[in-house]
Structures are given as structure tokens and as C-alpha cells.
Structure 1
């Protein structure tokens, strides 16, 4: 299963519903405190990843003042299972069960009243005709009753899915399909969620800031993530189930014999006792390996080392995963979410990590989500990977960049939109863009000027007035000329803004 869209409402800084499109590799960029990490942490809550625990402080304060205390996190999936067993040994599919939304995608909604236990829903384009709605909430006896009363033809009266299909076919011309929310917490619909939950991707969140203790998840999580994937292997799952069944059988035998012997001694006490043995579903095999970790020399935990070393281990975990999945042709569903992957790493390691993640995102069943403040990392991405998170008049906005609508198709433009400032390279690009369109004279018109000293062969050969943009351009291209006062950072940013405004205006005039 693959995330294609996420919707968040009434969660931290997101008061109104925000809709975010996802790809195989999705990067959230923007200034601090914009809400980038909030998206990753909302997904950890949705997938019950265990890193983030929801609480009442997560409810948006404005929504609370307006009497709305329900957090809502929705995820839309593509590549969903084509076949599911929704009833006992009854193979069916989501489309025939009218459990997909109007775009034919699987949309799961989780609502958290007062940040408490979630209620789970499907948004589905579903029959609303009174004669054939809410069929998933009916028991097989109720479905048979409808079949009999309405004289509906059904070839198999022993399977609920076949009964539902026959009823819907009978009313096919008047189903009155509408997009509605189907609650999955109700008793008769629980089996739908139980089956879907097994198919959800494994979500692994790696945060940037950690406390320095023996249970530091930044080191633990890569191995825990690996353990979770290993236990999803179908062959291993079947072998473990066989072992569990045998252990439970022997335990049942021992407890039954014990109670039989107890009856001989004290029948009254024996009557009050019952064997309590966990079901196979209750067994948590991954907990057996919950203490997996990595240790350095002399068994010193790696989490006692510097943050740079810890992040380096994480870096190489992803590099190893990319290589392993490629070599083994694995198709497991997993989402790696990494906050501020540049943390504690110099640029060479940042590039290595970004390349590993890009390669990993190309593997089937794998998605990568990152947040970053690094312009260098942004420049390693494609436009379709980038989501700029920003405030627009105090309203949260997430912009999906499209190359053809930008004033200049450059990843420096992406950095400018994300961080509000840019460097000399971007200044050169903007200047070159205006020059290539033959518009420099128009741009320079009526701009204030200042004197510039031209230096050649060890001496000043000329002094003349030029605009600030041209002045900055000359200094960038001729750093050997130190006879002019260096432009300031503020002047650089203002010149960049002026050129962007001019390019946008001239683009509109050309259209």
C-alpha cells in the first residue's frame, strides 16, 4: 500500500483541514516552527508507530475555543490489496464491496475525540438506498432474510460477501451511491478494519533530537524497524503460527490436566478456575527482540557517543537497506520518515544519505518522507519531491512545486520560497534569466545607481555608475577587485527580490 494523500485537521498548528499529496519521495521544506515535523508525527499517530503519543495539547487551541475537540487524521492509499477476506474464509475485494472513495482509492479516517482512543472510518462511495445500505453492519442471518423477502437470486447463501453482492446487484439501477463515512469500530464492521490493518505499511519515524539515554530510539529504531519487517515475512509468519499453535495446544493440555487433578482434591475450588491462555493474535513476537541494539568497543552503547556518530549509523542503515532490498528483490510495504536528515552531518554525509534515500524510494513498496532546512539537500531533489510549508496570512499552506509555474525553473527558487532568502548562485541565475530574454535595459530603467571602480592589470582603469544589481553581479564575478565596498547580505536579498518581481511581472505581460 502506498500513501498518495494525507489530510490533517485540528492537530497542533493545523486548525483547518490541510491536504498534502505524497509521492515515493516527499520532502517538506520551510522555516522553523512551520509544521513540517507535525505531518510526520501525525502519521506516526495514525499508524500507531509508538514514537509519538497523542494528548490533549495536540488539539488546536483555536478549535478548542470554538468547541471542537476532535483531531482528525486521514490517509488515502493506492496499491491497496486487490483481495481481502472480510468474512470468515470469504474472499472479496474493496471495489465490489463499495469500500473505496469516489476516486477509487482507499481512504482511512481516524478521529480522536478529546485526543483519546481513535474511531476508525472508511470514506466510501457507498449505496445509500434504504433497501440496500449498511449491509456490512448486518449478520449473515439478516442478509439471508433480505434475500428471501425480496426474492433475490443468490448462488451461495453461505457467504456474507456473496449475499451482499446479490442484494446490490438486485438494486444496481437505484443504489444511490454517495461518498459517506463507514465506521469500522462497530461490532459487525470490525472484521473490515482487522483485515485492512494487517495490510498497512510499517511506518518508521526517526526524529532529529533525542535524549541521551540507554533506550535512545535513534539507535534502537533502525533495528526495531528491521525486526518489524522480518516478522511480516509470510514464510516466517506461517512458521511462527505453527509453533504458537503447538505451544498453545500443549499449554491447554497441561492446564486441563491440572484442573482435572484439582477436582479430585477440591471440586469447589476447581469450579472457580479456568485456563487463561493468550490467542495467537495476542502473541507479540517482536517483543522478544525489543532490546536489540548496537554497541561500540567494550560494549559501550552507541547512544553514549556523539550525535554525529548516531546519525552516521542511521545513514548507513538506509544505505544498507537500499542495497539489501535491491539484491533480494523485496516488495515489503514500509515508510521511512526522517526529520532533519542533515542533523549533525557535514555536507558529504548529507549527500550520501540523500542518495541512499533516493535509491531506496525507487524500490517497490517503499516510501521516503523527510523534513529539511538544508538548501544543499533541496538541490539534490526533483521539483515533484518538494512540498514548501509556509504561513500565508496566518493560514498554514503546503505548496507542491511545479517547475513550469515558477518565475525561473531552478531549485534555488524552491529554496527561496521555503526559506525566504537565497545566495549568490541564485542571484546569478536570475540575472542570467533577465539577460537571456533581452530585458536588462528595461530592468535597469529608473533604478538608483552607485559608483563602481573597474580594476584591471593591477590598477583602477575606470569608474562609472551602475545599478545595485549590476554592482552585485560584478562583485560576484570579480572577487579579485577589492576596490569597491562589499555588498551586504540585505542588499543581496533585496536585489534578488527585485529581479524576481520583475521576472514575474514581465512573464505576465508576455502572456
Structure 2
């Protein structure tokens, strides 16, 4: 992954999510998602971005599900299934998971969580003896014993020991598998075996998934309670053992002192009163008496509790009284600290930080800074932090790392069909394959910052993208579109590639995410302009030959019939401008330049190639544009 600005893949630094499969969870019918150090989910509201994060939260942290959480178009019994495949296993991971799930030869580990008709089950990929799996998946010790004894009777050559207890039989089966590796095969091992009858998760201490929801309350996560963010930090960083032991000792001393006080001041009085009550009761019934004793209160030692407050200049406030932006910043800072201490305490555990809409309540400059901090955190292996978020903000998308973007879309085949979610992903390999024979690898790397940083991040969020050569083209088409409806209302974005030769790379990326419209100049009038400038015939011929070749190469790459000088809509996704856009404006829309001059003279615009001035003139020009200018607008809207 050295190209396009991406960093090399890690090799065995810490456990990482490699891929996720989700079936029948809320709006997700059946999706597969590859994960990176940073995984960015984009897409319109309701597309399913947050559902991916919440499916992972259920996989790792559990929670109650019901039939309302099942995808509406499912067949058969209600069933939800989430698969997570991990990579970069360390020796600590292998030791914790055990040789069945993480043998020395395995580079990945896969686990499933399945909810079916109210039952929740965990399972993992393992090397196992298939007949043992039916025994391991038994839901009670009694059914397990029956299945084990049946196998023992049917296959006496296995030489299995007699049943004594469930735990002993588990050990016996593992010993047998260890001694007979040639008879094992890949299997999905039952949940009680993977996570224990007492619910001990084998991933506990190896991998933490923390979801910061859009409505998460920082005040709740800042309380010293088990499972909260602050609670996890305190658990990892503060040793309260001696303090709690002293509190327990103090509770015992108080109990002894209280017993002595009761004996000194109450015991005698209560004994006298009990004797009198017993005498009164004896007049009604025989053989019974009344005892009165002081109740010794059970003094449970109180564990140490930590309070979090914020010093705001001269005022100390609760977390809840701070602004929402600060509250989310506090949560993220706390998680960073949690990740840092996960490394310092030697546990080597990894945190996957998942955030819904990280841009919420953030000032634009803070959002940019927040994005940079998250990227820096996830980019350093020693932080043991994997980051994923669902966002609507281009601040959290870096076009250099396009392969970390997952575009989530929801569509249906008709009004009578259930909507399905699809997730598009532009991989490095797929983009390189598209560019093979058109762009050299070395050129790709050299051009990377120039091509992708300008408008591509915003284009990732659009329903359709118009890819043009330069900023002037973008300004003109933005203005022409606004004469009827702004492109932004249609969800259309225009991205400028800064030259015809630079169209290839952004087109390859956008094509993997969504088919873009390419608009370019055919430069057919270049020969005449060079002759008018007195250029040498040989130079004119050479330039003309290169222009024709460039046009043909681009058309061939776009899958369109090759021509020297294509014109107009040559395909639904390709429009060629006759000569240049400037010459089209001069010849077919001269009123545009008059409007531009009026805007400059009035002080509303700036002379020269100025984007806002060009766009405003195209929008307010009293003469209506015609020809290829409208062809581009129509082609763009046809994409959606």
C-alpha cells in the first residue's frame, strides 16, 4: 500500500478488524465491509452507515435484540448474524485464543455472533474434529452428556474417557484433537466453548470496541461506573487495591465498635423489656417467650469513587454543564488516554473507536483538527487504536486515502421490493487496474497531491460527479446549472482535475465509488491559434499529433469509440467540448463576457479568471446559453 500516499500494511503489531459481514441487521440485508486503520462510512441519511457501527457494537458488547431489529425482507425465522475477521494476531492473542482458534500457522481469526428467534450465540472459526462440534454446541450439561455418550458408543475406536463433568469432557476432546491433527478440519465452533459457560469472552482484554453515538452523553461516560469510558481508564490506570483494603478494615473496626456500644447501652434494657413482654404473652399462651436484641447493621466497605469535574476559568462545573462540542472532545481525549494506557500496562489490548458523526458540535477549525488527531492516532501502530466513523463532513475524508472510504447507498428494485444496502469501496488494486496502460505508477505518485486534494473529498459525498479539466469549467457549469436548480440541490458535485491529463486518476477512483460524468476540451482549434501566433509548422504538427492521441487515449480509457476531435455527448457519461470552453463562450455565448465585465465594473466581481465572478456571470447573464453548455447540465442530471 505504498502508492497514493497510503502507508504500508501492519505486520503483526496488534489485533485488527480486517473485514466484517452483516446479515439481516436493521436495514442491512447482506453486506461485506473491508476495514482499514481508519474506515470512513459516507452516504445519505438513512443509508445504513450507523447500522454498521451498531451491528459491531452488538457483536462486541451485546445488548437486547428483537424482531424489529431484523431486516424487513428476511426469509424464514428471524435471524441476525454478524461476522468479524481479525488479522495481525500477536503471540499474546494466540495464547489467549488458544491453539484451536489461533494455531501458529493461522494469520487470521474469525468469530460470529448470531441471534435467532430470541437466542444469542457466539462462535468462532477453529480447527476441530467435526463430530465434537455437535457436543460443544449443546445448550445444557444434560444434552451435552447425552451427545457425548452417544458418540463414545458409536465410535469406540476414538477411545474417549467416561463422562465425569462438562469441563472434563471439554478437556478430553481438546486433548484428543491435539493428538490427532490429521483428522481435524475447519469448523465454526459453538459459543459456549469459545466464550465459556460462565460467559468469559476470549476477546476480553485483547480487543475493545467503543461506540460514541451521536446522542452519547458525556456526563454518563464520565462517571466512575464499570463499563464507562472514565471507568475503563480508572480500571487500567489507578490501583485502588490498598485503598479498598483499608476501607474494608475500617468497616470491620466500625462494626466492632458499634457492637460494643450496643452491648453497653442497649443489651440490658432490651433484656428487661423482653422479660416483661414474655410475661404478658404467657398469660395468653404457654411455651413461648420474646427475645429483643440490637440489630447489627451490615457495614459493607464502600469502594473508592472518583468524581470528574471541569475547571472553567474560575468556575468548577459538572461535565453536563459544558457545551456539546467540549463534551465530545472530552470523550475522544479520554479514549485516546485509554488507548495509551492499554499499551503502557503491557496488555497490548486494542481499542476500536467508532464515532457517529464526529463533526457534531464542532467548529470547522476544530473539526479539521479533530480529523487530524484521529488520523494521527490510528496511523501509529504503538497506539493500538483502530478508528471508524460515519460522517457527512468532507473534513473527515482525506482524498489521499480514498481506499479508506466506504460509500453506503440504499436502493430498491421497485415500490413493492424491500430496500437493500450496498457498500462501494475503491481499493488500491482496483484503481491501479483501471489505470493500467494509461498512467505510470511513478507519475501517479508524483501527481497525487495535485489531483486529489482540490475537490475530490466533497465529490465522494455527491449523488453524481461532473469531472472537468479546471476551475473555470467548474465555475461556468455551476452557474449555468443554477439558472434552473443549483447542482447542490440535486446532490451533484463538480470536481476539477486541473488538466485533461489529470482526469484519469480521479475518474478511476470515482468510478469505483460511483460512475462520474467526464467533460473535457477537444482542443480542435489549437492548430489555428498556433498558426496565428506564428509557430513553426513542425511544432504545430507535433502538437496536433499529441492532442489527437490524447483525445483517443482518453476515449479508449472511458470505453468510448475513438475520434481525433470528438464533440458533444459522445456517451451518457462523456461530453466533449468543441475546441475549448473559452472559445465556446466567445462564439456561442458572447453575452456571458459582457455580464462578467458588468459584474467587475459594479464592484461585485474580480477581473481575470475568478471562480465566483465566472459563476455569477453564468447564472445572471440575460441571454440563455445553448448547445454543449446545456448538454453537460442535462447529462449530469441524467446520472441521478
SS at match of 1:228: helix
User: What is residue 206 of structure 1 aligned with on the other side?
Assistant: 212
User: What is residue 416 of structure 1 aligned with on the other side?
Assistant: 459
Moved more, 71-80 or 368-377: 71-80
Picking from 26, 30, 34, the partner of 2:39 is: 26
* Residue 8 of structure 1 pairs with residue 22 of structure 2: yes
By how many angstroms is 1:355 displaced?
1.4
The 8 Å contact of residues 100 and 106 in structure 1, kept in 2 or not, is answered as no
SS at match of 1:190: coil
The 8 Å contact of residues 48 and 410 in structure 2, kept in 1 or not, is answered as no
Measured in 1, the distance between the counterparts of 2:579 and 2:158 equals 93
C-alpha change, 1:308 and 1:69, in structure 2 (3 Å) is: same
SS at match of 2:61: coil
User: What is residue 235 of structure 2 aligned with on the other side?
Assistant: 231
By how many angstroms is 1:431 displaced?
4.0
By how many angstroms is 1:328 displaced?
8.8
C-alpha change, 1:152 and 1:327, in structure 2 (3 Å) is: closer
The 8 Å contact of residues 220 and 228 in structure 2, kept in 1 or not, is answered as no
User: What is residue 46 of structure 1 aligned with on the other side?
Assistant: 59
Structure 2 residue runs of 5 or longer lacking an equivalent are: 1-14, 162-166, 260-273, 275-287, 292-297, 413-418, 436-443, 445-450, 467-473, 475-493, 504-519, 521-545, 553-562, 570-576, 590-605, 621-628
C-alpha change, 1:102 and 1:132, in structure 2 (3 Å) is: farther
Picking from 390, 394, 397, the partner of 1:375 is: 394
User: What is residue 366 of structure 1 aligned with on the other side?
Assistant: 385
Rg larger in 1 or in 2? 2
Structure 1 residue runs of 5 or longer lacking an equivalent are: 85-90, 258-264, 270-275, 456-461, 467-474, 502-511
Picking from 446, 471, 482, the partner of 2:567 is: 446
C-alpha change, 1:295 and 1:381, in structure 2 (3 Å) is: farther
Measured in 1, the distance between the counterparts of 2:68 and 2:45 equals 20
User: What is residue 336 of structure 1 aligned with on the other side?
Assistant: 353
SS at match of 2:190: strand
By how many angstroms is 1:426 displaced?
1.9
Q: Deviations over 1:266-286 (max 9, x none)?
A: 9xx9xxxxxx999xxxx9979
Measured in 2, the distance between the counterparts of 1:420 and 1:483 equals 21
Measured in 1, the distance between the counterparts of 2:456 and 2:233 equals 39
SS at match of 1:405: helix
Picking from 408, 415, 426, the partner of 1:401 is: 426
Measured in 1, the distance between the counterparts of 2:429 and 2:458 equals 16
Equivalent runs, 1:12-161 vs 2, <5 Å: 12-16=26-30, 18-48=31-61, 54-63=65-74, 66-79=75-88, 82=91, 94=97, 96-98=99-101, 105-114=108-117, 116=118, 118-129=120-131, 134=136
User: What is residue 184 of structure 1 aligned with on the other side?
Assistant: 192
The 8 Å contact of residues 222 and 230 in structure 2, kept in 1 or not, is answered as no
Q: Deviations over 1:291-333 (max 9, x none)?
A: 6454646444443444334344446556767888899998442
User: What is residue 427 of structure 1 aligned with on the other side?
Assistant: 496
C-alpha change, 1:382 and 1:241, in structure 2 (3 Å) is: farther
SS at match of 2:46: coil
Equivalent runs, 1:267-286 vs 2, <5 Å: none
Higher relative CO (CA 8 A, sep ≥ 6), structure 1 or 2?
Answer: 1
**TM-score of the aligned structures, taking structure 1 as reference length:** 0.64
User: What is residue 506 of structure 1 aligned with on the other side?
Assistant: none
User: What is residue 410 of structure 2 aligned with on the other side?
Assistant: 391
Q: Deviations over 1:68-102 (max 9, x none)?
A: 32222232233557469xxxxxx966453357799
By how many angstroms is 1:13 displaced?
0.3
C-alpha change, 1:301 and 1:419, in structure 2 (3 Å) is: farther
The 8 Å contact of residues 339 and 371 in structure 1, kept in 2 or not, is answered as yes
SS at match of 1:352: helix
By how many angstroms is 1:337 displaced?
1.2
